[in-house]
Amino acid sequence: MTAQDPDNTQPTADTEADAPLTDDRLQESPETPHLMTDSADDTERRNGAPGTDRWHAAMQSILNGSVLVTVLAVVLALVACGILIALTDENVRATAGYFFARPADMLQAIGTAVGGAYSSLFQGSVVNFGATSFQQAIAPLTRSIDYAVPLVVAGLGIALSFRAGLFNIGGQGQILMGAAAAGWVGFSFDGPAAIHIPLTIVAGIVGGAVWGGIVGVLKARTGANEVVVTIMLNYVALYLVSYLLRTPGLLQAPGSSNPISPATKDSALLPQLFGERYGVDLGFIVAIIAVVVVWWLVNKSSLGFRFRTIGENPRAARVAGMSVPALTIWVMVISGALVGIAGAYQVQGAVTTGFTSGIDAGIGFDAITVALLGRSKPWGVFWAAILFGVLKNGGYAMQAANGIPIDIVGVIQALIVLFIAAPPLVRAIFRIPQPGARQRTKTSKNSKKAVAA
């Protein structure tokens, strides 16, 4: 063969197998999906893989994804708090004195302390197995749902800002302003419930949206740090609402010297879905609708795509022609509006006899934890809020039945966030491989073979 002749020899099977997979060969390989166009169904049809392969892939996605890490973070938090409960139990400490003589006594005391505490938590927040009727059996769950409803909508607002790369720490202020606006509409007007209820909810939305929009404008126009601005606006909202509640003719109840508003009119109260016996009101339906709307907004709409783009790469968004300042304002407006719904719920469903400056009840900050636990995904936020509602409701039952301070619930929540923020720690404890670790190992081996060849 001369130097001018092209090399038409074909590579041997061994050489082809050992060569690294370039982009061209990735598309030619029957086992590799096209990176840009193939879906999972296309890959399965092309490979002729049975349906079990799809289930295997789904299971691997769960095992290697954030869902499993989230669940295990909750498990670790419960285990850690179980240890804390055991260490602080009087019977456990008493039996520890003669552990080596009768170890079974201490183990039994630990089981009684931890098992009794978590049993009370479960039966006080999910299902009461000792109830004599179905209504009494599910009453704990309905109360947990009531606690969860404002966390769902507030968590959605915080999660939306997180997806756009903004840290909305102003949930407290947005709830206060939403509650103030909704409360004023709720006690100042009267009329048909079909008009008064949605009008009050809209007032809460407007109050939260305005307070969130202030943050968006300051961030977009002046470059102010949204964390600092939202925290400061929390104080502004708190003292502003306190002032309004102390001023006759504004939010203060007539004839009262206390900083409390008038009671919400009956026409503005959220109706019970299944009657007074079960305790689940219209707010739960509103929360589910909010989850669906936010899911569609984030995953299916062009506006949601732009929100996610500025969150992942603002520079790329500018290059693509997106107005980052305008999108920043809209994100904070919508985020504040969602949090404002939680404020409206507080005066329409939770506290209907008149509210004070503590109407937020810490929901604004709990919503941050819910958004983190839900991975800033709408349905993840929903289930995280349900979990927090269960913990909060069950904490009261655990305190009443076992004498364990309700502060243990705060410890559980804090540990959940701690483990969620440290996924490598969770993976190390349970020996879960990092996502894509096997694929990276295989690619590394192929590269080494190619270099050796």
Task: For 233-246, write each residue's pLDDT tens digit.
Answer: 999 999 999 999 99
Tell me the three state secondary structure of residue 31.
Answer: coil
Domain 142-389 has CATH 1.10.3470: yes
Q: Enter the pTM of the model.
A: 0.79
Give the per-residue pLDDT at 48: 44
What's the N-to-C CA distance of the chain in angstroms? 22
Instruction: List the domain boundaries for the chain.
Output: 63-123+405-435, 142-389
The C-alpha atoms of residue 101 and residue 97 are separated, in whole angstroms, by: 9
* Residue 52 predicted with pLDDT over 80: no
Please give the pLDDT value at position 128. 87
d(CA 91, CA 93): 5
Please compute the mean of the pLDDT values over residues 33-47 and round it to a whole number: 43
pLDDT mean over 419-435: 82
**Mean pLDDT value across residues 328-341:** 96
Residue holding tokens 């109050």?
Answer: 207
Task: Give strand pairing partners of 281.
Answer: 272
Residue with tokens 């977009």, as numbered in its chain: 220
Considering only CA atoms, which of 393, 417, 383, 391 is closest in space to residue 156? 383
The pLDDT of residue 63: 42
Spatial distance between the Cα atoms of 243 and 252, rounded to a whole number of angstroms: 9
pLDDT band at residue 29, thresholds of 50, 70 and 90? very low
What pLDDT score does 442 carry? Answer: 60
Q: What is the pLDDT of residues 266-320, one digit of tens each?
A: 999 999 888 777 778 899 999 999 999 999 999 999 999 999 999 888 899 999 9
Q: What pLDDT shows up at residue 441?
A: 58
Residue 129 confidence (pLDDT): 86
Q: Cα(58)–Cα(80) distance, rounded to whole angstroms? A: 30
Q: What is the mean pLDDT of residues 38-59?
A: 47
What pLDDT sits at residue 329? 95
* Inter-residue contact 212 to 393 (CB < 8 Å): no
Instruction: For residues 67 and 71, give the distance between their C-alpha atoms in angstroms, rounded to a whole number.
Output: 6
Residue 6 has pLDDT above 80, yes or no: no
The per-residue pLDDT for 292 is: 97
Query: Quick check: helix, strand or coil at residue 442?
Result: helix
The conformational region for residue 222 under phi > 0 = left, psi -120 to 50 = alpha, else beta, is alpha
